[in-house]
Amino acid sequence: MKHQSNSERGSGDGQDLGPSLLYAIKQLELAIRSRMDTILRPAGITALQYTALTVLRRCDGLSSAELARNSFVTAQTMGEMIIALESRGLVSRRVDPSNRRQMLTSVTATGVGLLDCYHGEVSALEEQMVSQLTPRQRGTLREYLISCRAGLTRTEAH
């Protein structure tokens, strides 16, 4: 008798997905992070640092807390990451003119250069990941993932 993994069990009607869906998502996340870390190793940055730089490229001038939320890490981890990125000249910080107790972070020209250098390889990884999907399935997957994230970040009024 063949042993079934959690992801293989169920009736196929979508009613038995529970933790096996979480497991499949986590497996995918770990595979992506491992491959991105391999791609980015020559640059001396991690997948999480690359994510933070891409967030800053899209949304310049974020506080550490905002950057942490958008990069999926804790505020403490982000604080350490910003120090490391700043020491390498990949980001810069400045005082927020509307709240002098807060620092805003921006990606530097050096950071943008690093992102540009690795964009092709990271895009190729994404293409490999979705290569078995049709363009329509890719769009649907993106919508589903965005909806799942919104479901976890939504705050309910009491």
In the chain, the domains with their CATH numbers are 28-118 (1.10.10.10)
Residue 120 clears pLDDT 50, i.e. is over it: yes
- Please state, in angstroms and as integers, the Cα–Cα distance from residue 158 to each residue in 3, 134, 152, 155, following that order: 45, 42, 16, 9
Q: What is the pLDDT of residue 13?
A: 56
- Residue 30 has a pLDDT of 95
**Please, how many CA atoms are within 13 Å of residue 92, restricted to the half-sphere of its CB?**
6
pLDDT class of 9 with cuts at 50, 70, 90: very low
pLDDT digit string (tens) for 46-105? Answer: 999 999 999 999 999 999 999 998 888 999 999 999 999 999 999 999 999 999 999 999
Dihedral sign, Cα of residue 23, residue 24, residue 25, residue 27: positive
Q: What is the pLDDT of residue 18?
A: 59
Whether the predicted pLDDT of 1 surpasses 50: no
For residue 63, what pLDDT is reported?
A: 94
First CA to last CA distance, the chain: 50
Neighbouring C-beta atoms of residue 39, cutoff 10 Å: 17
**What pTM was estimated for this model as a whole?**
0.79
Average pLDDT score over residue span 18-29 = 88
